[in-house]
Amino acid sequence: MENRTATNEQFVTVSGLTKRFGDLVAVDNLDFSVAEGEIFGFLGPNGAGKSTTLNIIATLLSLDKGEVSVAGYDLNKDARAIKAIIGLVPQEIALLPNLTAQENVAFFAGLYGLKGSRLKEAVQKALVFVGLAEQAKKRASKMSGGMQRRLNIACGIAHDPKLIILDEPTVGVDAQSREHIMEGIRILRDRGATIIYTSHYMPEVQEICDRIAIIDHGRLVGLGTEQELLRVVTDVKSIVVRFEDKPGFDSDGLIRRLCVLPDVQRAVFNEGATELRIDVTLGFADITPLVKEFMALDLRIQSLNSEAPDLETTFLALTGRELRQG
Ligand SMILES: Nc1ncnc2c1ncn2[C@@H]1O[C@H](COP(=O)(O)OP(=O)(O)OP(=O)(O)O)[C@@H](O)[C@H]1O
Ligand SMILES: [Mg+2]
């Protein structure tokens, strides 16, 4: 405890963090901090440096330059103290395939020194938490991808860590399990944990994160609450069009044609292709070219509204890339 210096108000502080892989600067002079009890979102396109940053904080990867402190411990001096209070749910599922669900959780929680009845209780609690209590005796290798994801989470949180880092925890899980996981993360926070959460799924980040850091090419390009980030984009508006049902039309072709029109920055359909969001520059005034494209596909407009940009638009404006693209 003597080595602790900072107050715990900022639970995680990262300053000047830099990591190179050969010539590639994967994390480039990154600064941010996470308050105690916060759910902090980490957003960025593929290869932005999210996992690298999180793995450094979780003491799995060395840093080249910069400082990281967690709960007042300095990573460069007290990595072991930090490791003991962190739970990492890695992006790549890391399970022992021949062990059962409960043996897997026991193995990982055991690494943190839990033994005997405390270990047993922790394992049971974690399995209930991810909705796998009924599958406790099932081998990891026999589980579906979504169940393995949930088990991966149980393994990362069973030792009751103060800082929980979730790196894309909901990839491949169904909507119901995703809701379960979202609710679980809120419960963990309410019990006192601080959370860093990474996802490519924007609605998730919007739903649960108190603040969001947007990174691209290893650099911080935006940081704030959802509302603060939305205010960054002032030169774009969105046109939201709803169509009457028309199964099987070429929605990808439509998107491609819309994107080459003047003043159109982005066009994207919602799931089910019933609602189309088109981001246009503020100078955009004439919707005729858009309507022509709709008519060419025999699409009937149900409604057409102008809206403020969403977080996806902000993301695009800040990074020049769509979140889901590589
Ligand atoms: N061990 C490694 N050796 C060499 N290059 C690496 C290594 N790990 C990551 N990189 C590179 O560093 C950059 C950042 O990778 P990182 O995995 O941190 O990105 P990410 O934001 O987590 O991406 P994703 O959304 O795909 O998970 C990428 O260009 C990646 O190819
Ligand atoms: Mg990653």
- Which pLDDT tens digit goes with each residue over 171-194? 888 888 888 888 999 999 999 999
* 139 plus 90 within the same structural domain: yes
Contact 42, 214 (CB under 8 A): no
Check whether 252 has a pLDDT greater than 50.
Answer: yes
Last residue of a domain, one of 171, 204, 225: 225
Q: For residue 154, is it within any domain?
A: yes
What is the DSSP secondary structure assignment for residue 299, as one 8-state letter?
Answer: P
Q: For residue 19, is it within any domain?
A: yes
Distances (CA, A) of 288 to 87, 258, 261: 54, 12, 11
Spacing, Cα 55 to ligand 2 middle (Å): 10
The whole domain housing 240 covers 234-308
Weakest-pLDDT range from 54-58, 143-147, 264-268, 269-273: 269-273
Averaged confidence pLDDT in the chain: 89
Please report, rounded to a whole number, the percentage of residues in the chain having pLDDT higher than 90. Answer: 59
Check whether 232 has a pLDDT greater than 90.
Answer: no
Confidence (pLDDT) at 5 = 47
End-to-end CA distance of the chain: 43
For ligand 1, atom 31, the nearest C-alpha belongs to 47
Q: For residue 1, is it within any domain?
A: no
Cα distance between residue 119 and residue 106, in whole Å? 7
We report the CATH number of the domain holding residue 75 as 3.40.50.300
Spacing, Cα 50 to ligand 1 middle (Å): 8
CA atoms within 13 A on the CB side of 174: 4
Check whether 66 has a pLDDT greater than 60.
Answer: yes
Distances (CA, A) of 185 to 83, 147, 165, 269: 20, 17, 11, 29
284-288's contacts with Cβ under 8 Å and 24+ in sequence apart are 284/237, 284/239, 287/239
- 323 or 309, which is more confident: 309
Q: Is the CB of 91 under 6 A from ligand 1?
A: yes
Segment 250-273 mean pLDDT: 89
* 96 plus 219 within the same structural domain: yes
Contact 237, 279 (CB under 8 A): yes
* 132 plus 84 within the same structural domain: yes
Check whether 2 has a pLDDT greater than 80.
Answer: no
Cα distance between residue 188 and residue 175, in whole Å? 20
Strand (E) positions, 95-235?
163-167, 194-198, 211-216, 219-224
Nearest ligand (C-alpha, residue 201): 1
pTM of the model: 0.81
**Can you list the alpha helix ranges (DSSP code H) found in 11-144?**
50-57, 79-85, 101-110, 116-129
* 182 plus 293 within the same structural domain: no
Cα distance between residue 212 and residue 205, in whole Å? 8
Confidence of residue 309 (pLDDT cuts 50, 70, 90): confident
Which of 20, 28, 46 to probe ligand 1 with, by most ligand atoms within 8 A of CB?
46
* 83 plus 112 within the same structural domain: yes
Residue recorded with tokens 């901090």: 33
Which of 42, 50, 165, 217 to probe ligand 1 with, by most ligand atoms within 8 A of CB?
50
Confidence (pLDDT) at 195 = 97
* 151 plus 258 within the same structural domain: no
Cα distance between residue 193 and residue 101, in whole Å? 24
Domain count, the chain: 2
The H or E element that residue 45 is part of is: none
Segment 274-288 mean pLDDT: 84
The atom of ligand 1 lying closest to the CA of 27 is: 14
Distances (CA, A) of 54 to 12, 68, 89, 222, 233: 11, 11, 10, 17, 27
Q: For residue 185, is it within any domain?
A: yes
